[in-house]
Amino acid sequence: MEITTRLEFDAGHRIPSHKSICKNLHGHRYCIEVTIKGDINSEKTNSNFGMVLDFKDAKDLIKKSIVDEWDHSFIVYEHDEVVLKFLNSLKNHKTVIFPLVPTAENMALVAMDKLKTAFKKEFGDSIRPFKIKLFETPNNWAEVY
């Protein structure tokens, strides 16, 4: 069985080598949809009876693993030295240094890796993320399975 939940966050980024305006500092209202796969709980006395996982528990884990870190931050590629220097000059700035250029595609890949680790730690192999859909805008997104 698969279930999906959705959370939103705001963040800034830039694509340093982009041919157009995305090379400039800018931000988005991102949306992340996480599809989780697992068996329906059949234990009648369990709080999650009839569910794969309580949606609130799924949201809490996703929020802790992704949203709390990325929300209202500037996500910067670790080799974008000009912007890193600028961000480091600001006091108490929320900066996320990213191992990849922070495109929607790469953000979805990083989110999947982080959530695989978080779900494995919490649930072993019984409940796991199956698909991440990361919206950069309402009309543009990346999906990773």
Residues marked as catalytic: 22, 72, 136
- DSSP letters for 1-48: -EEEEEEEEEEEE--TT-SSGGGS-EEEEEEEEEEEEEPPP--TTSTT
CA–CA distance, 90 with 113 (Å, rounded to integer): 29
How close are the terminal C-alpha atoms of the chain, in Å?
Answer: 15
